[in-house]
Structure 1
């Protein structure tokens, strides 16, 4: 295999590793919300235990990317592709961490009946999960239209976040004895809102990859 073909195969492997990491992060978010709703402490603990796999894969991606730069000395678009992969891996790993944080909140709430239906939290999760999946697809396809759509969806998450926090603050006024659970549910909202922000970071990096310049998609 000639050098250029080998390099292209390596780039595909790098993309594959990123997709795997994205799946891990998405699963962590989804299963942590399930643990919260079903009060499944064992599931929450399992999510925490499995976070090491995401950490390890992120390190593997970084090492692989750095090795590619050292061996191939890529220029222009190929160099941007590798640098962006490193940045995206960091954002995805942080999203996986937020899944772990939600699992910890599920454990702290324990068997307490939830003070209110968490429909808005479910909606935030669904949007964030969709954004993560779409951002990985946009990276794989170098699709800035899809990346822009991801950034636009972040506004919906922000709106749900603001509305849910206001609802929880009102509940705190009428149910001060539930301050512990209300605090944890507020944290869960914050973790999902931050996870969505990290998908927007991914979208911005896709614009950089394709266009060669930075765009602020949060503005």
Structure 2
């Protein structure tokens, strides 16, 4: 296989690996939301343990990307793709960490079944986060700059709804240590959306070499 063709194949595989990491992270997030809603404590404990798998996948991606740079000495445009891939993988791993933080916070709640209103609010935020991450994945797979730029509006809506969620919790007579755990969970979701926006910024960098702050 000619060197250039081989390198392009490696780039494609690297992007596939990053997509797989993204789907694993998203699946973990969805599982966490479902476990919270179902008061499924064993599943929440499993999600905490599964963080090591996500970390290992990201390290494998880093190793592959580093070897590509060392072996191929890529030109500027190809190097951008590798660097963007590394940054995207790092942001996805952080989303995984925040998902674990959510699971830990849920495990600290005395009885999740007593907080239907809080869980409903979390579900509303989660639906937006899932939609956002799906659109980020699509933009990354297609190197879609316009799609990446649209992510900022989704992040703004999540920021607003997170702020409203917090205000309602602190104005409630139910405010307690348990309720604070729900505030933390919402905060972790808001941070996940920020990392989704970071991925969108790296898509733009990958395509045109410019860094834009979409936050």
State the TM-score, normalized to the length of structure 2: 0.96
In 2, Cα distance between equivalents of 1:110 and 1:16? 41
In 1, Cα distance between equivalents of 2:133 and 2:117? 27
Paired residues in the alignment total: 214
Query: Helix, strand or coil for the counterpart of 1:118?
Result: helix
Q: Deviations over 1:104-155 (max 9, x none)?
A: 1121114341162433321211111122122122112110111112121001
Deviation at 1:11, TM superposition (A): 0.6
Deviation at 1:5, TM superposition (A): 0.9
1:39–1:110 contact (8 Å) kept in structure 2: no
In 1, Cα distance between equivalents of 2:190 and 2:52? 23
In 1, Cα distance between equivalents of 2:111 and 2:64? 43
RMSD between superposed Cα atoms in Å: 1.2
Q: Which runs of 5+ in 1 are unaligned?
A: none
Aligned to 1:120: 121
Aligned to 1:146: 147
In 2, Cα distance between equivalents of 1:132 and 1:93? 13
2:51–2:96 contact (8 Å) kept in structure 1: yes
Query: Helix, strand or coil for the counterpart of 1:116?
Result: helix
In 1, Cα distance between equivalents of 2:74 and 2:131? 32
Query: Helix, strand or coil for the counterpart of 2:137?
Result: helix
Q: Which runs of 5+ in 2 are unaligned?
A: none
In 2, Cα distance between equivalents of 1:41 and 1:154? 30
Aligned to 1:67: 67
In 2, Cα distance between equivalents of 1:197 and 1:117? 22
In 1, Cα distance between equivalents of 2:37 and 2:116? 12
Aligned counterparts, 1:60-209, within 5 A: 60-112=60-112, 113-114=114-115, 116-171=117-172, 174-176=173-175, 179-209=176-206
State the TM-score, normalized to the length of structure 1: 0.94
In 1, Cα distance between equivalents of 2:107 and 2:124? 21
